[in-house]
Structure 1
Amino acid sequence: MTKVTRAQSTSPPDGGWGWMIVAGCFLVTICTRAVTRCISIFFVEFQTYFTQDYAQTAWIHSIVDCVTMLCGLGFALCYSPAIAMVGKYFSRRKALAYGIAMSGSGIGTFILAPVVQLLIEQFSWRGALLILGGFVLNLCVCGALMRPITLKEDHTIPEQNHVCRTQKQDLKRVSPCSRLTKEWVQTCLCCCLQQEYSFLLMSDFVVLAISVLFMAYGCSPLFVYLVPYALSVGVSHQQAAFLMSTLGVIDIIGNITFGWLTDRRFLKNYQYVCYLFAVGLDGLCYLCLPVLRSLPLLVPFSCTFGYFDGAYVTLIPVVTAEIVGTTSLSSALGVVYFLHAVPYLVSPPIAGWLVDTTGSYTAAFLLCGFSMIFSSVLLGFARLIKKTKKTQPRFLAKESDPKLQLWTNGSVAYSVASELDQKDGESVAMAVPGYNPT
């Protein structure tokens, strides 16, 4: 077997092989997220074939998304590592790189939605799933593109790791069943966990994690129920598939343009705010959906929701990297996507239960909308509190400095400040050997 060469770099190259990493991540998102979204098109087929209600049928999509985010199985082994690799190769162009990479979800949805509908009509839902399975095998190609890279910050290893390595050399001559060996294993395990997951104790990350739970609850049901909802208001099957395609292609535009915009100098420091803005607007779109009951009204909805969905999906890794840094980005993203699992599992069945109970989609869509709005408000409120706490010490420092105290009489303020400066100068001069005040 050939030995894998690890690329060496002191800082993210922002290009070079990084664009191949972006291409690999782009194909990964097509094969994972886009294929998962297309299960919405299978929803009516599953419901008809198995003669089940909305809540029962929704478990199919929920389990797919949940297992992807929760375990190290299937799509999860491809999705999170590919996203983390983009963050390793890009710094200055990170938002743009993520925008291109994550646009695969939208492009895949745009292409696959009508194709899947055609496959179902030609080969039934069983044949369509079989063909999609063959397409997903392209993930093997994506894995071949992922070349490891060592960054400058990766060389900053805590002393605990050095102790572990020293102990490991000593333990090579000791029996693997000895007490010393067991203690070394426990110590190294604690060291690794402390280093990899220290961000879990950061207050900013905890708030982000809570916010992600509500955001994930809101975003998932639309991709399950958009097609059934469109069919319920009189839209044809082909037109419903067209809505998914529209959502997908606008998702692409949101991925790329929002990533490019937030990399510009005037928005570079406001990427966090842009993320809140995008999540909140998707929540508002949800609130408007129950009154949109025709194709001419659902198309603008698909455009708006798709754009801001692509926008905030692009910024999730960027916001996470801003909080935890690039060294822990892979682990942090794993936790963030892990937190998607439970909402993805329960939100479509809950929405389906509301549809079955009320006979309408209104309650389900309103609950999703308010959940996403709360996610945005929570992060915004936390950032506001943090800025307030930073401002108070500066204000108190200014208050305690006599040179910065202001009086209503400008001449008095000037003379007092001059006198204080003169005294400070004299005190410094007196400390100099040979100082003579005369």
Structure 2
Amino acid sequence: MDCKQVTDGPWSIAVALASFLAQGILGGHVYTTGIFYTIFKQQYPGASEVAISWMCTLPLTLWFIVGPLGSIFTNRYGCRICSVIGGLLASFGLTLCYVSTKFYMVFVFYGLLAGIGNGIHYVGFVTAVNRYFKKYRLIANIISTIGVTFGMAVYAALVPPMTETFGWKGTLLILGGISFNLCALGCALFPTVSQSSSSKVLNIGLLRDKYFLLFGVQYLFCNLSSSMIFLHLPALLLSFETGASYWFFSLTVYGIANCFMKVLYSVIVYLRKPDSSIVYTGSLTISGIVMILLPALQNQVWVIVLVAILGCTCSVTGGHNVEVILYLVGQENVSDGLGFGQVAKASGSLLAGPLAGLLYEASRRYDT
């Protein structure tokens, strides 16, 4: 294939589809850690609540925090090599959990290695999507990131029966095999002119932009709250004395609502072209209110309604956030902006696990 970039062309659609599938695999892994949280608590009763919470937030945390490393790989070697390297690390991390005999081994493989692979792979793919699209860039970002919540909904339905059939180690072995497909999907990212001609390593100057820094602070607090929700929602619902199938269902409802709203947003953007930053800010304000209400309203119907609203409002973090970053830093700095933005998100996720563990140990209640 010719290495020249064909913006908004036929191969752009193939890249967007590959991104959808790749983000489905990543999202399925990192946003169902709450299921493995309950499993790890049973398998390692001697481990502290803080350690288990921290380990289960690491896949999401490192997905974000290694963003600058992914940016360096992307700028130096191109999106394809960056994505393949990340896919290998993610696959090896989950697969090696099968031979783990100690808690610290699972901590390293499940939390650290797979999380680093997720982050490197993600930056390569998101950068590629923004290079292959111009006119339909926001729509492409929204549609491709639907894969994240689609994967979460699918994994939420498949992981519990898989753990019953194959055990938790066998399930992680299968998920490691699925993650190996990230390498094949990365091969779809043919080099572009902007990839092959780039010589910069990382644009540190973005950290002097006060508006970009404020966006980073917002990213931190947004992910601090959402990480707690994803990690402890299953445990919270179990504390309401609901059945396991109920919280599996709640994660699926979140994923479906999130996917639906992303599609609706893409249609609205195409027809009306609203201000992305206003949509982004308004939606996250509503999501914050919903998070406050969630532990207070323990009625099963209300919980499902609130989870659905949460899925709708949080959908802006998978498309509009990229558009806001592009507005702040420009197309030429998109991979750097994504990298630094991921670090801000990671900081929130990194704080969420230990903080949630400490709150639970102090109160013995998940609604705290």
- Quote the offset at 1:324 in angstroms: 1.0
What is the match of residue 64 of structure 1?
A: 59
Counterpart of 1:99, as a letter, is I
Aligned to 1:307: 312
Structure-to-structure mapping, 1:182-331, within 5 angstroms: 192=200, 196-267=203-274, 270-331=275-336
1:5 Cα offset (Å): 4.5
Distance 1:92 1:84 in 2: 16
Find the aligned partners of 1:56 and 1:203 in 2 and give their Cα distance.
35
Give, as a single letter, the amino acid of the residue that structure 2 aligns with 1:35.
H
- Distance, in Å, in 2 between the alignment partners of 1:260 and 1:323 is 24
**Separation (CA, whole Å) in 2 of partners of 1:150 and 1:255:** 30
- Aligned mates of 1:288, 1:112 — CA distance in 2: 26
Q: Is the 8 A contact 1:271 1:315 kept in 2?
A: yes
SS at match of 1:362: coil
Q: How much does 1:35 deviate? A: 1.1
2:76 is matched with which residue?
none
Alignment-derived partner of residue 34 in structure 2: 40
Secondary structure, counterpart of 1:353 in structure 2: helix
**Equivalent residue in structure 2 for 1:342, among 347, 350, 366:** 347
Residue 107 to residue 8, structure 1, CA distance change in 2 (3 Å): closer
Instruction: Output the CA distance in 2 between the equivalents of 1:38 and 1:290.
Output: 19
Residues 340 and 257 (structure 1 numbering): CA distance in 2 closer, same or farther, change over 3 Å? same
Using the size of structure 1 for normalisation, the TM-score is 0.69
Contact 2:236 2:367 in 1 (8 A): no
Specify the SS of the correspondent of 1:291.
Answer: coil
Q: Distance in 2 between matches of 1:206 and 1:43?
A: 33
Aligned to 2:4: 7
**Which secondary structure does the structure 2 equivalent of 1:328 belong to?**
helix
Distance 1:89 1:8, change over 3 A: closer
Correspondence for 2:120: 77
The corresponding residue for 1:332 is: 337
The AA in structure 2 aligned to 1:343 is G
In the aligned structure 1, how far is the partner of 2:180 from the partner of 2:267? 31
- Would the aligned equivalents of 1:117 and 1:238 in 2 still touch at CA under 8 Å? no
Deviation at 1:193, TM superposition (A): 5.6
Counterpart check, 1:95 vs 2:101: no
Contact 1:259/1:315 (CA < 8 Å) preserved in 2?
no
Percentage identity across aligned positions? 21
Deviations 1:330-378 (A, max 9, x none): 1110111122222211212211211221232333xxxxxxxxxxxxxxx
**Structure 2: how far apart are the matches of 1:256 and 1:334?**
26
Q: C-alpha distance in 2, partners of 1:89/1:74?
A: 23
Structure 2 Cα separation of the partners of residues 323 and 112 of structure 1: 34
Kept in 2, the 8 Å contact 1:29–1:104? The answer is yes
Cα 1:64–1:312 change in 2 (3 A) is closer
SS at match of 1:75: helix
Bigger relative CO (Cα 8 Å, ≥ 6 apart): 2
Q: Distance in 2 between matches of 1:248 and 1:300?
A: 13
Q: CA deviation at 1:79?
A: 0.5
Query: How many angstroms does 1:305 deviate by?
Result: 0.5
* Cα distance per residue 1:315-335 (max 9 Å; x no partner): 111110011111110111011
Larger Rg belongs to: 1
Query: How much does 1:53 deviate?
Result: 4.9
Deviation of the 1:141 alpha carbon: 1.4
- Name the amino acid aligned to 2:39: E
| CA displacement at 1:302 relative to structure 2 | 1.4
- Counterpart mapping for 1:81-160 below 5 A: 81-150=124-193
Structure 1 unmatched ranges of 5 or more: 162-191, 364-438
Q: What TM-score do the two structures reach when normalised by structure 2?
A: 0.81
CA contact (8 A) 2:216 2:345 kept: no
What count of residue pairs does the alignment treat as equivalent?
319
Shift of 1:311: 2.3
Question: 2:83 maps to which residue?
Answer: none
| One-letter amino acid matched to 2:59 | V
* Worse-matched range after superposition: 322-331 or 353-362: 353-362
Question: Which amino acid is 1:90 matched to?
Answer: F
- Supply the distance in 1 between the matched residues of 2:9 and 2:290 (Cα, whole angstroms): 36
Task: Answer whether contact 2:49 2:361 (CA < 8 A) is retained.
Answer: yes
Q: Which residue number in structure 1 is paired with residue 24 of structure 2?
A: 30
2: distance between equivalents of 1:307 and 1:224? 19
Of 27, 31, 49, 2:43 maps to 49
